[in-house]
Amino acid sequence: MTKTANYGAVLRNNIYVHELGDGIRLEGEVSPCVFMYPGYPLQVTVTLRRHSGESLGVAYAVDRALTVETATDADVSRLLSAIQSTSCGRCSEPAFDPATVETTRGGLCEACFVGDLDAELAKFAEAENRRLANRDRRMKAKGMTVRVSAWIHPAERGDDYQADWYFATRPTPAGIRKLLRKEGSIIPADFQIIDL
């Protein structure tokens, strides 16, 4: 069987540039998964960049009809040239036009998108702290004097998770290590004793 040379075949780490004007450009790179998994559809990781090099966000362009076997440089260029930029819905910085490329940014620029995310996380952390403070107060009223907060590191599979215990009498570090080992943690020293 002879293999026909695929003229202009896509290469790993090849950067494709598409100028958008106004000091910004698109940089495309065929995603590593396309080279790693046979039959994976052509996917291009696209970065919106200022000419200074600053990244304004990343999006993905896909052509499901093509794979690494059939895609060419021209296909990547075609995908890139279909993508347009728009002004961020909030601060008018450049952003991907969500009508032209798959993005989770919803027409916001990277800074506004990340800012929203941070605000969301801060709100979540605040609610979590409030919840914990309320519980500490309740447990103290029940006669508990300390809270032990630990990260459980399971030996196999599964993510690390946090666990809390309350005690009326302060437990010894050895006692806590025993408790954490019983819980299945392979790093039984990852805990904190908090006085209520």
Our CB check for Zn ion shows the closer of 90 and 140 to be: 90
Residue 42 Cα distances to 17, 79, 149, angstroms: 17, 10, 46
Our CB check for Zn ion shows the closer of 79 and 88 to be: 88
SS3 99: coil
CB of 46 to Zn ion, least distance (A): 18
Our CB check for Zn ion shows the closer of 111 and 144 to be: 111
Q: CA geometry: angle at 124 spanning 119 and 127, to 5°? A: 125
Q: What does the binding site for Zn ion look like in residue numbers (CB under 5 A)?
A: 88, 90-91, 93, 109, 112
Classify residue 49 by its DSSP letter: E
Classify residue 172 by its DSSP letter: P
State both tokens at 127. 């609610």
Our CB check for Zn ion shows the closer of 105 and 177 to be: 105
Q: Shortest CA distance to 71 belongs to which of 30, 18, 27?
A: 30
CB of 19 to Zn ion, least distance (A): 22
Our CB check for Zn ion shows the closer of 98 and 171 to be: 98
CB of 47 to Zn ion, least distance (A): 17
CB of 113 to Zn ion, least distance (A): 8
Do 41 and 60 touch, CB atoms closer than 8 A? Answer: no
CB of 94 to Zn ion, least distance (A): 9
